[in-house]
Amino acid sequence: MNHLYRNSVRSVTTILALACAFSATAAPDAFTSGALTTADASGWLRTFTPTGTIDTSNPFFQSLGTNGRSCNSCHRQAQGWTITPAELQQRFDTTQGKDPIFRTNDGSVSPFADVSTLAARRKAYAMLLNRGLIRVGLPIPANAEFSLTAVDDPYHYASAAELSLFRRPLPATNLGFLTTVMWDGRETAAPFKPPMDAGVASADLDASLASQAKDAVLGHAQGAAAPSDAVLAQIVAFESGLSTAQIRDDNAGFLNDDDAIGGPRVLANLRFHVGINDALGADPTGAAFDPSAMHLFDAWATQHGNGRSERARAAIQRGENLFNTVPIAITGVAGLNDVIGQPTIQGHCSTCHDTPNVGNHSVGAPLDIGLTDASRRTPDMPLYTLTNNQTGASVQTTDPGRALLTGKWADIGKFKGAILRGLAARAPYFHNGSAATLMDVVNFYDTRFNIGLDAQQKQDLAAFLAAL
Ligand code: HEC
Ligand code: HEC
């Protein structure tokens, strides 16, 4: 029995002990156990920190505004440092919908939603409870190349002054790999300059995260004043020290066993710089793009036995191989096809998810993969009609994304390619939570790009994603 296994057993015992302690004291929003290893949908999630503990005395866990919320209201270790519908439903039930996350400024479907009774609150917070979505309110910018010409908001609130954009909290972990902050990049202080190594502080990244934390206190927590620079620096230091990944799979066992390199410890020490392995040749080292961006489970290619864990390991390794190699004819992706003037790019998952063993886009390059199209709109989402001021052309979208920052017609529907680690603990996926499971993610891509994956390939890809 190796050292890592013993650690995990101890951590899980700690969680159980703490869970019991907390059920007795359960104060709203007091989930501050500091557990490093927690159970999730398909195994165990683990967070690695330089100190070996989660410092729950950090202001990240404190109410710094006026509505009782902390960063930890929406960013929790056990949910991959975001939130999930299942945990939110529990929080709703134990507090009758009064936990500080349930606030009308951005937790409800509209700031005017009725929250006077339990039944009303269940309706008001439906987007949180069903999909883990927060309402981000942003205006059409003054200089925009387009106008908002129609709004179909089921909650009768959105207007050009404030569109309601229902978005997933991004994980507040693995931040050293970020090339842009927020789904639309709006907290990116300045384009991050290469080279930038994880663990080596980047002034641009730190400034972006400090600005993000300040705006979170003023916005999400309805702060009366911005926190001091010292408090912001403490928050940034705390979250920047977090590395999170799946460490154990229920079927395959430990994801760092037999020379595989899954889990957060390896992740914490990965080399990284902005532009690393970029598919369009932007790697500042001049290195050519290698579509085999994922190498966590290479060592399992030789698992041929028929035991449960051997079969599961072989499936994960096949899934990794598919991620790196399955041919995808990438068409109609604004930010990619139009930028290089190729209507079809013969690529792979890794063309966009190019950061080795992390999976985010290694350059800040917002893309529109079609998630906000009217054809994929569900009735619980607002739908906006935008009209181009020059050409008179119109598009319908559930979220203009990057275009609300730049005002550019070409940026409508663009979002960043997110980090793909610690996925199993934090369904649903995509900025709008439209994929309830990892299989739904795989099915989205199979349909969107006509990949032609068979049932086995889909299962293998989903098994690989769950092991990240
Ligand atoms: C009410 C819920 C809520 C609270 C409270 C909250 N966040 Fe967030 N956080 C979000 C949402 C939603 C997003 C994504 C929004 C977007 O991109 O438009 C986000 C994004 C982030 C990101 C960006 C990560 C990335 O990949 O770009 C960081 C970092 C972050 N939050 C840290 C914090 C910190 C620090 C605090 C406390 C000061 C905090 N959050 C409080 C909901 C919340
Ligand atoms: C054309 C570029 C592109 C390709 C190809 C691509 N992705 Fe993505 N991926 C993105 C972008 C952009 C996002 C974020 C989209 C959003 O939420 O608006 C994303 C998001 C995801 C997410 C959700 C992450 C989260 O935090 O919710 C997963 C999982 C994922 N992709 C897996 C894959 C897999 C598996 C493949 C191959 C079958 C693939 N991607 C191919 C660009 C791409």
Name, in order, each residue with C-beta under 8 angstroms of 84's C-beta and a sequence gap of 6 or more: 132, 425, 426, 427, 428
Q: Worst-scoring range by mean pLDDT, 14-23, 112-121, 305-314?
A: 14-23
Distance CA 57, CA 209 (A): 19
**Per the structure block, which two tokens stand in for 385?**
């009609």
Average pLDDT rounded to a whole number, residues 167-184: 97
Average pLDDT rounded to a whole number, residues 157-181: 97
Distance 314 CA to ligand 2 centre (A): 23
Q: Where are the domains of the chain?
A: 3-84+168-371+415-466
8 A C-beta contact, residue 387 and residue 412: no
Amino acid at 449: F
**220 touches ligand 1 (CB under 6 Å):** yes
8 A C-beta contact, residue 122 and residue 149: no
Q: Worst-scoring range by mean pLDDT, 268-272, 353-357, 444-448, 454-458?
A: 268-272
pLDDT tops 60 at residue 1: no
pLDDT-derived band at 305, boundaries 50, 70, 90:
confident
Distance 74 CA to ligand 1 centre (A): 7
**165 touches ligand 2 (CB under 6 Å):** no
Tracing tokens 């599961």 back to the chain, one arrives at: 312
Question: Considering only CA atoms, which residue is closest to atom 21 of ligand 1?
Answer: 170
Q: What backbone torsions phi and psi does residue 133 show, to the nearest 5 degrees?
A: -105, 135
Per-residue pLDDT, 197:
61
Per-residue pLDDT, 34:
65
**Per the structure block, which two tokens stand in for 323?**
């991620």
Counting ligands in written order, the one closest to the CA of 219 is 1
Counting ligands in written order, the one closest to the CA of 369 is 2
Distance CA 269, CA 436 (A): 31
8 A C-beta contact, residue 215 and residue 138: no
pLDDT tops 80 at residue 9: no
Q: For 106-125, give the DSSP string.
A: TTSSSTT---SSHHHHHHHT
Q: Give SS3 for 101.
A: coil
- CA distances, 299 to each of 1, 323, 424 (Å): 20, 16, 22
User: What percent of the chain clears pLDDT 90, i.e. is strictly above it?
Assistant: 87
pLDDT tops 60 at residue 407: yes
- CA distances, 121 to each of 3, 52, 116, 144, 395 (Å): 47, 39, 7, 36, 33
Query: Which of 352, 358, 362, 429 for a ligand 2 pocket mutation test, highest count of atoms within 8 Å of Cβ?
Result: 352
User: What percent of the chain clears pLDDT 70, i.e. is strictly above it?
Assistant: 91
Residue 287 has a CB neighbour count (10 Å cut-off) of 12
**333 touches ligand 2 (CB under 6 Å):** yes
Average pLDDT rounded to a whole number, residues 10-33: 37
Measured between alpha carbons, how far apart are the two ends of the chain, in Å?
23
Q: Give SS3 for 9.
A: helix
Strands (E) across 255-343 are located at 328-331
pLDDT tops 50 at residue 26: no
User: Looking at residue 383, what DSSP letter applies?
Assistant: E
Atom in ligand 1 nearest the alpha carbon of residue 239:
35
